[in-house]
Amino acid sequence: MGNEGPEPDHPELAEVAAGQIAGSVTAVIVRCVERVAGQPGVARLMERAGDPRDPLELCKGTTWTSYDLAVSLFRAGIEVTDDPRFAHQVGEEMLRQYEGSEVAALFRSLGSPGEVLRNVALSATKFSTATRLEAVEIGDDYAIIEAWAIEGFERDATFCAYTAGILTQSPVLFGMSPAQVVETRCQRHGAARCNYTVRWDRSTAPDADPQRRIEHLEAQLSLLTKRFESMQKTTRELVSAEGLEHVLAAIPHRAAHAVRATRHLLAVYLAPGDLRLHEHGFASDDEARLVAQEILATEPDDRDGSRLIVDVTSGTRHFGRLAALYPPGARFFPAERRLLEAYAATAAAALNVATALEEARRQNETARALLALASSLTDARTVDAVAQTLATAIPAVVGSPRASVLVWDADEARLTYRGIEGVSAELEAVMRATVLLPEETPELQRMLSAPTPMVLDATDASPALCAVLHAADVERVCIVPLLAHGDFHGVVTAPIERDFDLAPDMWERLQGLANQGATALENARLVEQVHHQALHDSLTGVPNRLLLEDRLGTALATANRGGKHVGLLFVDLDRFKAVNDTYGHGPGDVLLQQVAYRLSQSVRASDTVARLGGDEFVILLSEVDTVRDAQAVAEKILEAMRVPYEIRERVLSVSASIGVTVATRHDDVESLLNHADKAMYRAKSAGRDQVVIAA
């Protein structure tokens, strides 16, 4: 075809020659042909394209293909399906296939179709290293995108159509209808670059349609669940792999599914001088060894962002590094570092278990206990569940009849018992009520400044710790910190007899257990954070509509059974648009944050303040006696809203219109929200800055 790609004797282009088109593209080509022409059509596709590979290989999302061969596959697909729009349809399906995956989450994290297209140059490297895209102009509902083939390649008509198909799908990521795309100039016809005008209809966004918004939020919640389950599956696969080499070989392949790149490399030391290399996408072992030397350097070169390199570390043990590599000029999303670090942390935990097995086969009971712990930790979804799982495993690992896990809360600056094993119910209640503060506990101060294992005697303990140790009838306790990526997450403790001589392997066993526990705690906190973000407004931190509807449904069910009433206040700021127009969105956002704070301070802890979007808030009053009680709360809120706001050396005044309703036994979530909303609009119509009770 005349496009032989970069010459192999050009070092700066050597990495491009390894593969230019992602396996996700060839997989879609095969699927689109199979959908129209079945398996016989797939066979004709491979024959006409001159591709000798097994079609199953093309369907692997991690197998890259040359640009020329991809063009041949596109052209053959058009012939086999007898559809001139075949390449365009492949482009349309490219992003659809990622629904529920990490790639879609990365794109969606950019916030809007315009932001996806603004980052299109970065996004394009997920699919092709032989072509480039660039956003020339971005508007609220349109974008102008340029595309071209890099030096050494010729732009093909199939790639023009394929690119247009991809560009139609950026709004779909956010629940909107596909965009309209028009190619106004083409590189094939003499232009320096292809030029695309992309337009989308914002009125089709989920926010414009309550039903679409619910479906979109449900899809996001489903995505978060799938991401968590994917991480669990990876953890189980790595931990349960048959032998150390199986574990090592699985790591780069699993990472390749989460962080898209042309090549992945794991380089770890299991012992001094014992370097193990496992790769995905490299042309030869020699090439992998050369890159391994580079990524294991004290300060590895990330090649201007085209290499993503993370440490494989568990606790204080540094195994090596895991890397995802693009050709020069490509980039990674910031969120992809966190993803690769999560897989590296999971890999490190698996390596910890695997190396512990190989080093301690003579200690079968301990090894089995550590494996059981690793398996149990994969099912622990919360910090409390991880802490209790860890505490339950300690006696089997170190032989102590009792154990506890204390978790550090960095925001509150305190240490509390979250996992307890082998004590009476009375003592457990005392321990769980104990709060250790750095200013009152010198031992905790030392642990925070220099987190190292220690043995603590009750006779030398500070008063705060001494009270707990005496209550537990413990004279001596072994304490090991929980560390992950240098962060302090808490401690594990195991009581020991005063005359007990601590063997070195006990420290090793406790440290190995603590390493697994720290990684699990870090992952559990990440899951809790993701779950919190899915149910709370990102600007104000108050619950969003999804969480409000859940709590409102629960409150209605409880009220119907208990004879109590549920009140609802719909609060809308008056003339908030004028604030944004006059002072900008920055002060407007600060104002919304202060409004959310005032609303939260005006109601009980059992009530819920939620933000629906824009300047609309809803307050769920979980228990009221009459509608007058709800009205009294609304009047109190109205007074609080009238107090001027100090924002960036400006004093702003804003009022609110509030609709009030109290549920009857016939109301459901939708009807109650509708009643309050209508009452609020009556308050607006009546002159604003007032409370109106729903009819």
Tell which residue, 181, 148, 10, 173, has the closest CA to residue 98: 173
Phi, psi of 181 (to 5 degrees): -125, 130
Phi, psi of 635 (to 5 degrees): -65, -40
Longest dimension (CA), the chain: 87
Q: Which CATH architecture best describes the domain 11-206?
A: Alpha-Beta Complex (3.90)
CA distance 432 to 111: 41
Per-residue confidence (pLDDT) for residue 502, from 0 to 100: 52
The model's pLDDT over 621-672, given as tens digits with 9 standing for 90+, comes to 988 888 999 999 999 999 999 999 998 888 998 999 999 999 988 889 999 9
CA distance 674 to 396: 57
Tell which residue, 517, 461, 466, has the closest CA to residue 490: 517
Per-residue confidence (pLDDT) for residue 100, from 0 to 100: 57
Lowest mean pLDDT among 216-220, 242-246, 260-264, 425-429: 216-220
Per-residue confidence (pLDDT) for residue 322, from 0 to 100: 94
Question: Do 33 and 45 contact (CB within 8 A), yes or no?
Answer: yes
CA distance 654 to 526: 37
Lowest mean pLDDT among 7-16, 177-186, 293-302, 341-350: 7-16
CA distance 402 to 423: 7
Selected residue with higher pLDDT from 300 and 342: 300
Per-residue confidence (pLDDT) for residue 514, from 0 to 100: 81
Lowest mean pLDDT among 63-72, 195-204, 205-214, 679-688: 205-214
Per-residue confidence (pLDDT) for residue 466, from 0 to 100: 86
Question: Do 556 and 668 contact (CB within 8 A), yes or no?
Answer: yes
Tokens matching residue 83: 């559809």
Selected residue with higher pLDDT from 35 and 513: 35
CA distance 670 to 552: 10
- Strands 616-624 and 608-613, by their bridges, are antiparallel
Check: pTM over 0.85? Answer yes or no: no
Phi, psi of 289 (to 5 degrees): -65, -40
Residues 6 or more apart whose CB falls under 8 angstroms from that of 624 comprise: 565, 566, 567, 630, 633, 662
* Mean predicted lDDT score pLDDT of the chain: 82
Q: What percent of the chain has pLDDT over 70?
A: 82
Once rounded to an integer, what is the mean pLDDT over residues 470-499? 83
Q: Is 545-693 assigned to CATH 3.30.70.270?
A: yes
The model's pLDDT over 320-348, given as tens digits with 9 standing for 90+, comes to 999 999 877 777 877 778 878 877 887 78
Q: Which CATH architecture best describes the domain 360-533?
A: 2-Layer Sandwich (3.30)
pLDDT confidence tier of residue 379, bands split at 50, 70 and 90 = low
Per-residue confidence (pLDDT) for residue 348, from 0 to 100: 82
Per-residue confidence (pLDDT) for residue 112, from 0 to 100: 85
CA distance 510 to 496: 13
∠ CA 635-636-639, nearest 5°, is 90
CA distance 639 to 637: 5
- State which H helix or E strand residue 47 sits in: helix 23-49
pLDDT confidence tier of residue 1, bands split at 50, 70 and 90 = very low
Tokens matching residue 388: 């209790």
The model's pLDDT over 58-102, given as tens digits with 9 standing for 90+, comes to 876 667 889 999 999 999 999 999 999 999 999 998 877 766 565
pLDDT confidence tier of residue 34, bands split at 50, 70 and 90 = very high
Residues 6 or more apart whose CB falls under 8 angstroms from that of 45 comprise: 29, 30, 33, 37, 55, 73, 76, 77, 80
200-232 burial code (b ≥16 CB/10 A, e <16): beeebbbbeeeeebeebbeebeebbeebbebbb
Question: Helix (H, G, I), strand (E, B), or coil: what is residue 404?
Answer: strand
Q: What percent of the chain has pLDDT over 90?
A: 37
The model's pLDDT over 569-597, given as tens digits with 9 standing for 90+, comes to 999 999 898 888 888 889 999 999 999 99
Tell which residue, 362, 403, 431, has the closest CA to residue 510: 403
Per-residue confidence (pLDDT) for residue 61, from 0 to 100: 63
Domain spans in the chain, listed from the N-terminal domain onward: 11-206, 214-358, 360-533, 545-693
DSSP per residue over 491-519, as a string?
EEEEE--TT----HHHHHHHHHHHHHHHH
Residues 6 or more apart whose CB falls under 8 angstroms from that of 567 comprise: 620, 621, 624, 627, 629, 630, 633, 660, 661, 662, 663
CA distance 650 to 43: 70
* Domain 214-358 matches domain 360-533 at the CATH topology level: yes
Residues 6 or more apart whose CB falls under 8 angstroms from that of 665 comprise: 560
Per-residue confidence (pLDDT) for residue 242, from 0 to 100: 57
The catalytic residue positions are 615
pLDDT of 190 above 60: yes
CA distance 192 to 619: 57
Per-residue confidence (pLDDT) for residue 321, from 0 to 100: 94
Contacts within 8 Å (CB) and 24+ apart, 223-228: 223/99, 223/100, 223/104, 223/105, 224/530, 224/531, 224/534, 226/100, 226/101, 227/102, 227/105, 227/530, 228/381, 228/527, 228/530
User: Would you say the C-alpha torsion 581, 585, 586, 591 has a positive or negative sign?
Assistant: positive
Report the topology of domain 214-358. Answer: Beta-Lactamase (3.30.450)
CA atoms within 13 A on the CB side of 178: 15
